[in-house]
A = this chain, B = another copy of it.
Amino acid sequence: MQATIITIGDEILIGQIVDTNSVWMSHELNQIGVNVYEIISISDDREHILSAFAKAKQQSDIVLVTGGLGPTKDDITKKTICEFFDDHLEMNQEVLDHVTMLFKEYVKAPMVDMNKDQALVPSKVQVIFNQYGTAPGMWIEDEGTVFVSMPGVPFEMKALMTDGVIPKILEIGNLPFIHHRTILTTGQGESTIATRLEHWENNLPSHIKLAYLPSLGMVRLRLSSRGMDKDFILQSVDDQIKQLYSIIEDIIVSESNDESLIHAVVQLLKDNNKTVATAESCTGGKIASLITEIPGASQVFMGSTVTYATQSKVDMLGVDASIINKYSVVSEQVALEMAIKAQLKFKSDYAVATTGNAGPTQGDSDAPVGTVYIGIATPEKAYALHFMMGNHRERVVQKSVNKVLELLQKELIALC
């Protein structure tokens, strides 16, 4: 089963917002065996929508459309759906009741005609209930292709997908099994790895595809396969992964199996009933913010200090000022102290710390741009390591975050 994702709205095309919806939808479709053939972003323009619909219909079984469902004049998706499917709008009482309820409960402002119009839907569609907003999801089948229209608000779309669209796609049935396994490596570049893997790669069975995904000091190797025989797919990919381990065991950090590193770390903490705290300088709260994005993080996350200014490392964490004066604020000793003091102050089992210079200009120390020290405190030991993360601010921060999570994961795995 092939899918096309269409996002409608000028805000993506003029560079005002990042499209995070498409990647989420792709991931969910992949999980249930639907292959995403193409993702396309177009403007709120009648002709462009019609031509994109026509192309998507030709090339796919499922078309997911987001955006353009607001009550205002610039939103024309619903009208254009009517035109494409030769349909007309009808008032849907159930949706109207829901919109009325939402206004009464949350908006506490009188409804205007424009709000009531949110309950107008094309007569041929099946409504998918949107508990979080006024624009309903709409499911319409046409000559073997399913079109689904959803609002572009991320959490409304996500709830509609999870509760309505995915179950309905599963009902269609006969979906293949899609399987990805991703191995995280560190320490060698993609060409070096490819050279080491040349013989193995040349002998990969044709139903298994290999991709190299280099990113900020790490290379991910992804094996993908799909087919109706789930056991065969699982077994044959597993066989290849075992071979992979035997060839490049020295550089494999972990298997990340489509879960991001942060999920793995939080899960390890939960499984082992351990807590963590962070003391962040150059990473500016990014590690804390990533951890707390995960529901239930409060079980394992004690807190963080972002001690951006040098003095705050003393005032907030209790880092000894003489250590800073002696070794400079960007140093192994300070990273170590930060981790140890964070562990102490937050009463956590583990603590991680970063201090460095991400650029673009020199900060409170003489350390060259790209210098980062990472401190790790565990129940048994504490240490700090030195890294050079390159000359680009974004890269320095992201590489540091990745490295911290990688080190923490290693410590947690060692614990098991």
Contacts and interface: CB of A to CB of B under 8 A. Distances in A.
B309 A303 contact: yes
Contact of A284 (B28, B74, B291): B291
B295 A285 contact: no
B292 A308 contact: yes
Nearest to A194: B72
B303 A308 contact: yes
A28 B280 CA distance: 32
Given A109-B192, A224-B10, A346-B309, A22 B41 contact: yes
Contact of A315 (B44, B209, B301, B345): B345
A177 interface: no
Interface string A1-45: 000000000111111111110111111111000001111111110
A186 interface: no
A70 B211 CA distance: 11
Interface stretch (A87-95, A140-148, A371-379, A391-399): A391-399
A346 B342 CA distance: 16
Interface in A342-356: 345-347
Given A39-B40, A191-B115, A346-B309, A213 B16 contact: yes
Given A295-B393, A298-B363, A27 B39 contact: no
A71 B190 contact: yes
A304 B278 CA distance: 11
A329 to B, nearest CB: 11
Contacts of A23: 12, 15-19
A107 interface: yes
B307 A303 contact: yes
Given A14-B26, A71-B194, A395 B155 contact: yes
A231 to B, nearest CB: 22
A180 interface: yes
A347 B13 contact: no
Contact of A112 (B10, B38, B73, B191): B191
B41 A10 contact: no
A145 to B, nearest CB: 19
Contacts of A36: 13-15
B288 A211 contact: no
B15 A30 contact: yes
A70 B214 contact: yes
A195 interface: yes
Interface in A297-312: 297-298, 301-309, 311-312
Nearest to A43: B37
A16 B258 contact: yes
A34 B301 CA distance: 46
A171 to B, nearest CB: 22
A205 interface: no
Interface centre among A39, A48, A153, A392 (most CB of B within 10 A): A39
Contacts of A14: 26-27, 30, 36, 180, 224
Contact of A27 (B15, B222, B390): B15
Contacts of A287: 285
Please list the 6 inter-chain residue pairs (A to B) with the smallest Cβ-Cβ separation, ordered nearest first: A15-B27, A284-B292, A285-B288, A285-B285, A15-B26, A304-B306
Given A14-B27, A16-B180, A155-B395, 4 more contacts: A15-B28, A114-B191, A284-B297, A315-B347
17 contacts: A10-B211, A12-B23, A14-B27, A16-B222, A18-B20, A37-B43, A70-B190, A72-B191, A115-B191, A132-B391, A284-B292, A285-B292, A285-B304, A288-B308, A295-B359, A303-B312, A304-B305
